[in-house]
Amino acid sequence: MESFGSVYILSTRMLTLTLRCNGRRHGWLLVAALVLSACMGSVRAEDGYALWMRYVPVAPGVAHEYQRHLGEVIAPDQTATQRAALEELQRGLSGLLGSAPRVSTESAANHVLVLGTPESSRWVAPFRQELETLGGEGYLLRQARVAGHDVVMVAARTDIGVLYGVFHLLRLLQTGASLENLEVRQSPAIKLRVLNHWDNLDGHVERGYAGGSLWDWHTLPDWQDPRYTDYARANASLGINGTVLNNVNANALSLTPTYLAKAAALADVFRPYGIRVYLSARFSAPIEIGGLRTADPLDADVQRWWREKADEIYALIPDFGGFLVKANSEGQPGPQDYGRSHADGANLLGDALAPHGGVMMWRAFVYAHDVPQDRAKQAYSEFAGLDGAFRPNVLLQVKNGPIDFQPREPFHPLFGAMPHTPLMMEFQITKEYLGFATHLVYLGSLYEEALNADTHVNGEGSTVARVVDGSLDGHALTGIAGVANIGNSRTWSGSHFDQANWYAFGRLAWDPRQSARDIAAEWAAMTFSPDSEVVRPVVEMMMASREAAVDYMTPLGLHHVMARGHHYGPGPWVDGGPRADWTSVYYHRADRNGIGFDRTRQGSDAVSQYAPAVAQGFGDVARVPESLLLWFHHVPWDHRLRSGRPLWDELVHHYTRGVRQVQAMQATWDSLQGRLDAPRHRQVAAFLRIQENEAQWWRDASVAYFQSINGRPMPDGEVPPPHPLSYYQALQFPFAPGDGR
Ligand code: GCW
C-alpha cells in the first residue's frame, strides 16, 4: 500500500533543516530518533493525501499516558476485517506514539489494549450481552479491569464494529483525549450511509472538481490501485458503508459483464472495510444491452431481464448493495415513458433485488419539461400520492431542498409527507453551486440546518433527521447519501478544506444529531493540529464560511442565479434557452418594482406542501425567516427588513458582507502561517485569494444586474461595481470543470 501520508524525506539537507527546527540545535549524535520524534511534522510531505488520518506524533505530555495503556495489543487476525483493524491500529499507533505496539495473543503486561468480538476474543466474550444491544455495526470502547489487567477494550458484536471502534480510538488519540475512565458506546443512527459518485465510464466526473474519476475502469479488474484501499479506509473511518460507483445519469454498459467484473474487483477491495458496492441502473438497459424492444416495467420479459441481471450481479458480488435510479428526470428514461408510475418502476427493480437482500434507491429529483408547475413543487406532486405503494426494499432518495443543492434552501416538503415510505436524504458534498473546490465553504452547517429543520408533521420536534433516521415513522430501513467530492486529485477532494465536507457528511450520517461545530473541531485537530491555537481559528473560519457564500451568492432566499450549464460564477441575467426552469429570471422574478418568487397561496402555493404550522410561517411575509424571504415571497424593493433597511439596501449589504467575511477568513488564515506546514498553508491561502476575487465578482455582477432592473442608486456607503453589466455578461468559461456531458 502506498504510504498514507507518511513520506519522510531524509536527505542530508532535510536532516540539517530538521535539526534546527523549533529554533534548537541538536548535536549530530542525537540524529534520527530524536529528529523523528521531535520534528516529524515538519518533514512530512503534507500534500493532503493522508486526509484526517495523518497519525503524526502526539504531544509529549499525552504520549506517556497513551503508551502506558496501548503499548501491548491483543487482537485477532483471522479475517480480512480483523487484519484491516489491526493494521490500522499499528499504522496509527506507530505514527502517533513513535513506535509500533507489541502484538500478542496472550498478555504478559499489566496494561493491554484488546480488540475483538465475543467470538474472536476470550477477553471480550464476557461482554456478549451488552454488545448485542449495539447492533451489527456498533462498538464499545472501555477502560476496565479484566482478569487482573488494566484493559482498554475495543469490542463489538462484529469485526466491522471493531474496525469502527479502532478508528474511534485513533480519533481520540489524534484529538488529544484522555483514556482514563474511557467509556464510549456507539451505534449508527442510519442504516445505509452511502456515497454517490457521479462518475462516468470515460473517467469524467459530473460536477466533479477534484480531477478525474478515482476508478480506473480501463485497468480494472486486473489492477487494483492501492488508492482504492485508502478510499475504503477513509470511508470506514467515518462509518460510510456503501458506495454507488457510477453516475445517476447512467450508462447501461455498467451493467454488462465486462463492467460488472470491474465493479466486483472494487467490491473485493472494499468488503473488509464494511463497504458495499451499488450501481446506478439505467432504466432502459433492457433495450440497450438486453436486446428487448421495451423497458416497460409491467412487461414480463423486462421483469425477467432484471431478475436475471440481479442474479448475475449477485453471483459476482454476493453482498451487492442494490441499485440507484434517476428516472424521468432531465432526459433520463423511466417508467413514465410507458405510462407507468414511479412506483411501478421502483418496484420492478426492487422485486429483482429482493431475493438477494438488495435495496432499490429511487430518486425523487424529478421535474418535467411539459409541466408548467413551479419546479419546487414537482417532486412532491409526483411522489406524495405514491406513499405506501413501494415494495419494502425501496427507499426514496430526496435531495435536502426542493430545487437543487443551492447554498440555502428550505427543507424538501417530501420529508414528513410520506410516512409509509423510507425517505433517504441526498446531500451534495461536491460544491456544484458553492464555488467548486476553490471556495472554502464548510457544509457541515448546511447539513446540520437541513437535518434540524422541523417538519412539524407530528407536532414540534418532527425534525428531518427523525424522518431520515426512521424514528419518526418507525422505519428500520433508513439511508443517507452524499454526492461525493472525490476524484483522483492528490487531495482527493480538490482542496484541503473540501476534505472536511466528506468528513462531515460521514460523521453526520453516523449520527445526524452531532453538531457541525464539534465535527469541524475534530476534523481540524486531525487534519492540521490539535493545538487549540490552530483549531479555534480554523473552526471559526469554517463555521462562518457557509453563510459567507450564501451572502455573496444568493442572499435572502435567492436561488439558482448562477451561470448556465457549468454553474460557475454569477448569472442572474440568464434567460431563454430550452426551458424556463433552467434560467435565473424564472427563480428571482426581479422587475422594476420588486424581486422574489411568490410561493404563497396567492402565488405558486408551494407553501401548502408543508405541514400547516410550517406553511403558515413560510407563507407570512412578516414571519418567514429573512434568510428565505425571496424563496417564498415577491416583495417590493423598498420592503423594510428587520434591520430597518429597505430590501435593496439589505441585499447589497449582504453581498458586501459576504466578501468581507472571505477577507476575514484570509486574515485568520494568514495569522496561522508558521503554525501549519507550508505546502498546505500556501495552497489554502491561494485558494482564499481566488475565493475573494470570485466573491467580489459575484457581488459586483449581481449588484450591476439588479441595479439595471430596478434603476436604484447604490445604497449609502456601498462601492459601485467597477464594470458595467455588459462586462460581467460577456465573461465566458467554455472549459469550466464538472459540466454534465
Ligand atoms: O444538480 C443537478 C446537476 C446535474 C445532476 C442532477 C441530478 C447528475 O446539475 O449534473 O445530474 O442535478 O441530481 O440528477
pLDDT digits (tens, 9 = 90+) for 326-363: 999 999 999 999 999 999 999 999 999 999 999 999 99
Lowest-pLDDT range, 223-232, 268-277, 575-584?
575-584
Question: With 60 as the cut, is the pLDDT of residue 474 above it?
Answer: yes
CA pair distance 257, 437, nearest whole angstrom: 35
Confidence of residue 147 (pLDDT cuts 50, 70, 90): confident
> How many Cβ atoms are within 10 Å of 136's Cβ, its own excluded?
13
Alpha-carbon distance values, 649 to 279, 560, 653, 695 (Å): 49, 21, 6, 18
Confirm whether 404 is a catalytic residue: yes
pLDDT (tens digit, 9 = 90+) per residue, 418-454? 999 999 999 999 999 999 999 999 999 999 999 999 9
Give the Cβ contact number of residue 740 at 10 Å.
14
CA 49 / ligand 1 centre spacing (Å)? 28
Compute how many other C-beta atoms are within 10 angstroms of the C-beta atom of residue 344: 18
Neighbours of 400 (CB within 10 A): 24
Of 246, 253, 256, the C-alpha closest to 321 is: 246
Closest residue to atom 1 of ligand 1, CA basis: 404
Distance 294 CA to ligand 1 centre (A): 26
In percent, how much of the chain has pLDDT > 70? 94
CA distance 620 to 210: 42
Whether the pLDDT of residue 20 is over 70: the answer is no
14 pLDDT above the threshold of 50:
no
Give the active site residue among 137, 199, 230, 404.
Answer: 404
Q: Average pLDDT of 129-140?
A: 98
What confidence score (pLDDT) does residue 1 get?
34
Atom of ligand 1 nearest to the CA of 433: 1
| Rounded CA separation 8/14 (Å) | 10
Mean pLDDT calculated for residue range 596-604: 98
Mean pLDDT score across all residues of the chain: 93
pLDDT of residue 131: 98
DSSP, res 714: P
Which residue is listed with cell 451568492?
Answer: 553
Q: Write out residues with Cβ below 6 Å of ligand 1.
A: 198, 206-207, 248-249, 326, 330, 365, 404-405, 432, 740
Q: Report how far residue 424's alpha carbon sits from residue 398's, in angstroms, rounded to the nearest whole number.
A: 6
Other beta carbons within 10 angstroms of residue 601's beta carbon come to: 12
Give the length of the chain: 741
Contact 119, 81 (CB under 8 A): no
CA 576/CA 583 separation, integer angstroms: 7
Position 591 confidence tier, pLDDT thresholds 50, 70, 90: very high
Rounded to 5 degrees, φ, ψ at 363 are -85, 140
What is the predicted pLDDT for the residue at 371?
A: 74
Which residue from 232, 228, 230 is spatially nearest to 240, judged by alpha carbons? 232
Nearest to 499 by CA among 529, 530, 520, 479: 520
Using the 8-state DSSP alphabet, how is residue 452 labeled? H
pLDDT at 618 > cutoff 90? yes
Grid cell listed for 227: 488508492
Taking 90 as the threshold, does the pLDDT of residue 23 lie above it? no
Ligand 1 pocket, mutate which of 205, 244, 432 (most atoms under 8 A from CB): 432
| Whether the predicted pLDDT of 35 surpasses 60 | no
Q: Helices (H), strands (E): how many in the chain?
A: 23, 16
Segment holding 480, helix H or strand E: strand 479-483
Of 643, 613, 638, nearest to 626 by C-alpha is 643
d(CA 73, CA 82): 13
pLDDT of residue 55: 98
Residue with the smallest CA separation from ligand 1 atom 13 is 365
Q: Residue with C-alpha cell 468581507?
A: 660
Closest CA to 156 of 165, 148, 147: 165
Q: Is 330 a catalytic residue?
A: yes
Instruction: State how far the Cα of 245 lies from the Cα of 492, in Å rounded to an integer.
Output: 16
Give Cβ neighbours of residue 557 (< 8 Å, ≥ 6 apart).
408, 596, 626, 627, 628, 629, 630, 631, 632, 633
Residue 1 burial class via C-beta count within 10 angstroms: exposed 0-12, middle 13-18, buried 19 and up:
exposed
Say how far apart CA 570 and CA 588 lie, in whole Å.
Answer: 13
What is the side-by-side order of every strand in the sheet holding 102-104?
102-104, 72-74, 111-116, 149-155, 139-146, 183-186
438 neighbors 697 (Cβ within 8 angstroms): no
Q: Are 35 and 25 in contact (CB under 8 A)?
A: no
Question: Would you place residue 32 in the very low, low, confident or very high pLDDT band (cuts 50, 70, 90)?
Answer: very low
* pLDDT band for position 105 (cuts 50, 70, 90): confident
Residue 409 has pLDDT above 90, yes or no: yes
Residue range 135-156: mean pLDDT, rounded: 94
pLDDT band at 2 (very low <50, low <70, confident <90, very high): very low
Of the residues 432, 449, 469, 694, only one is catalytic, namely 432
What was the pLDDT predicted at 647? 98
Q: 723 pLDDT exceeds 90?
A: yes
The predicted-structure confidence for 504-526, as pLDDT tens digits, reads as follows 999 999 999 999 999 999 999 99
Mapped onto helix, strand or coil, the DSSP state of residue 423 is strand
Residue 316: band (very low, low, confident or very high) from pLDDT cuts 50, 70, 90 = very high
How is residue 309 written as a grid cell?
Answer: 441481471
Name the 3-class secondary structure at 695.
helix
623 torsion bin: left (phi>0), alpha (psi -120 to 50), beta (else): alpha
Question: Cβ-count burial of 148 within 10 angstroms (0-12 exposed, 13-18 middle, 19+ buried)?
Answer: exposed
Q: Which residue has the higher pLDDT, 247 or 6?
A: 247
Indicate the SS3 state at residue 439.
coil
Q: What is the amino acid identity at position 506?
A: G
Which residue's CA is minimally distant from atom 2 of ligand 1? 404
Whether the per-residue pLDDT at 44 is higher than 80: the answer is no
Tens of pLDDT, residues 673-720: 999 999 999 999 999 999 999 999 999 999 999 999 999 999 999 999
At position 675, the amino acid (one-letter code) is R
Quick check: 370 pLDDT over 50? yes
Between CA 93 and CA 315 the distance in angstroms is 39
Residue 322 scores a pLDDT above 50: yes
The 10s digit of each residue's pLDDT in 535-589 is: 999 999 999 999 999 999 999 999 999 999 999 999 999 999 988 999 999 999 9
> At residue 470, does pLDDT exceed 70?
yes
In testing the pocket of ligand 1, which one of 330, 362, 397 has its CB within 8 Å of the most ligand atoms?
Answer: 330
pLDDT of residue 176: 95
